[in-house]
Amino acid sequence: MDAKQMNTVYQVYPKSFQDSDGDGVGDLQGVVSRLDYLSWLGVDMVWLNPVYVSPGYDNGYDVADYARIDPMFGSMEDMDELIRKAKDRGIGIMMDIVANHTSHQHDWFLQSERDPEGAYGDFYIWRDTPNEWSSFFGGGTWTYSPIRGQYYFHAFAPEQPDLNWGNEQVRTEMAGVLAFWAERGVTGFRFDVIDLIGKDVDRKRWLDFPLMRRYLKDLVAQVDTSSLLLVGEAGGLTPDEILALQRDGSLDVVFNFEVCALDEQAGQGKWKLAPFEPSRLKATLDTWQRAFAVEGRNSLFWNNHDQPRAISRWYDGDERAAKMLAVLLYGLKGIPFLYQGEEVGMTNGMIAPEDYQDIETVNYLRTGGTLDAVRMKGRDHARLPMEWGEGADTFSTGTPWLRSLHHDEGRDVSTMRLDETSLLHLYRELIALRRTNRVLRDGAYELVPTEDHLYVYRRFLAEETPLLVVVNLSPDTVPIPVECGDRLIATEQVESPMLRPYEAFICYNF
Q: What's the one-letter identity of residue 127? A: R
- Judged by beta carbon, residue 19 or residue 192, the one nearer ligand ISL is 192
The CB-of-257 to ligand ISL minimum distance in angstroms stands at 6
Let me know the angle formed at the C-alpha of 82 by 80 and 86, rounded to the nearest 5 degrees: 125
Give the integer Cα–Cα distance in Å for 482 and 446: 14
Strands 253-255 and 229-233: parallel
The CB-of-303 to ligand ISL minimum distance in angstroms stands at 12
Give the integer Cα–Cα distance in Å for 345 and 427: 11
Nearest to 96 by CA among 180, 4, 188: 188
Q: Please give the backbone phi and psi of residue 123, each rounded to the nearest 5 degrees, phi first.
A: -75, -20
Given the residues 233, 264, 319, 358, select the one marked as catalytic: 233
- Total interface residues for ligand ISL by CB under 6 A: 14
Q: Among residue numbers 228 through 247, which ones bind ligand ISL (CB under 6 A)?
A: 233, 235
52 contacts ligand ISL (rule: CB under 6 A): no
Is there a contact between 168 and 136 (Cβ–Cβ < 8 Å)?
Answer: no
Burial 216-253 (b: 16+ CB within 10 A, else e): bebbbeebebeebbbbbbbbbbebebbbbbbeeebbbb
Build a one-symbol-per-residue string for 352-371: x at contacts with ligand ISL by CB under 6 A, - elsewhere: --------x-----------
Q: Give the residue, chosen from 78, 192, 387, 429, that forms a contact with ligand ISL under the rule CB under 6 A.
A: 192
Q: Among residue numbers 105 through 144, which ones bind ligand ISL (CB under 6 A)?
A: 136
The CB-of-160 to ligand ISL minimum distance in angstroms stands at 6
Build a one-symbol-per-residue string for 302-341: x at contacts with ligand ISL by CB under 6 A, - elsewhere: ---xx-----------------------------------
How would you class 311 by CB atoms within 10 Å of its CB: exposed for 0-12, middle for 13-18, buried for 19 or more?
Answer: buried
- Judged by beta carbon, residue 270 or residue 309, the one nearer ligand ISL is 270
The CB-of-233 to ligand ISL minimum distance in angstroms stands at 6
- Judged by beta carbon, residue 171 or residue 305, the one nearer ligand ISL is 305
The CB-of-162 to ligand ISL minimum distance in angstroms stands at 10
95 contacts ligand ISL (rule: CB under 6 A): no
Our answer to whether residue 233 is catalytic in this structure is yes
- Judged by beta carbon, residue 360 or residue 387, the one nearer ligand ISL is 360
Q: Give the residue, chosen from 10, 13, 47, 61, that forms a contact with ligand ISL under the rule CB under 6 A.
A: 61
Is there a contact between 357 and 372 (Cβ–Cβ < 8 Å)?
Answer: no
Q: Give the residue, chosen from 3, 63, 98, 201, that forms a contact with ligand ISL under the rule CB under 6 A.
A: 98
Nearest to 236 by CA among 215, 202, 212: 212
Q: What's the one-letter identity of residue 263? A: D
156 contacts ligand ISL (rule: CB under 6 A): yes
Q: Among residue numbers 252 through 291, which ones bind ligand ISL (CB under 6 A)?
A: 270
How would you class 174 by CB atoms within 10 Å of its CB: exposed for 0-12, middle for 13-18, buried for 19 or more?
Answer: buried
The CB-of-48 to ligand ISL minimum distance in angstroms stands at 13
Q: Give the residue, chosen from 379, 383, 428, 458, that forms a contact with ligand ISL under the rule CB under 6 A.
A: 379
Strands 335-339 and 9-12: parallel
Given the residues 192, 195, 360, 387, select the one marked as catalytic: 192
CB count in 10 Å sphere of residue 465: 12
CB neighbour list of residue 88: distance below 8 Å, 6 or more residues apart: none
- List active site positions: 192, 233
Residue numbers at the binding site for ligand ISL (CB under 6 A): 58, 61, 98, 136, 156, 192-193, 233, 235, 270, 305-306, 360, 379
